[in-house]
Structure 1
């Protein structure tokens, strides 16, 4: 996975192309999960609820992350906690690679001609950056609140 600081141009590409995916969000989510379960069947048992609702949650999280890329430092704590939660659900580090592959494939299907090498690189770097934070969070003990 590619990660690192995102340039303004990469952020703009990710945000512009996500805006093209939003109108087909439900279909994109269904494509994503179908592809994920196809390439990595070990992920399927991690999802126990309504997959349509799960898809909506996925798209909402993506929307929040994509819209917050300019303020990545403010996004990092929430992404770390998400990594801790995913770890508790049984997500393994190897699953992040499968998710990356399914995400890029889904974007290619949804964006069609708008899916250029630059778009693919920007999304790969964005996902890699966020996944790295989630994987770090997964290795840390959950934060506790002092009452």
Structure 2
């Protein structure tokens, strides 16, 4: 990722943070709409899960400028996801739900440059997670 992409991701996430509860609900609604097969992997009461999602995103987004420092946390997260039943093929639909949520949450702030920055960030991090969790490289697309 370029420094400009990191800046765009961080600035756009700062604009989503005030609506984090709504954004998290939108994300999971969209995820379950496009990939209903993943719904059983989640608890019935999603309040805590939504909070965890936004907290994890905040850590990752804030750490993008020093990616090597957050890689151990990303790797640990990937390993935990395997225990929850996540599979490598879930990563692309999660990415699609995330990008959709950001587009809706940012409205006019969702520019081509912001979309490209978020796509690059998600592809980079999900590739690390997939490699860690399943010991094989795979594109998130």
Range of TM-score over shorter length: over 0.9
Moved over 2 A (4+): none
Contact 2:88 2:130 in 1 (8 A): yes
Structure 1 distance, partners of 2:68, 2:29, is 32
Picking from 45, 54, 62, the partner of 2:57 is 62
**Equivalent position of 1:98 in the other structure:** 93
Structure 2 distance, partners of 1:136, 1:83, is 9
Larger radius of gyration: 1
Contact 1:65 1:75 in 2 (8 A): yes
After TM superposition, the score normalised by the length of structure 1 is 0.89
Q: Any unmatched runs of 5+ in structure 1? A: 1-5, 141-147
- Deviation for aligned residue 1:78: 1.1
Kindly report the root-mean-square deviation, in angstroms, between the aligned alpha carbons of the 2 structures. Answer: 0.8
Contact 2:88 2:134 in 1 (8 A): no
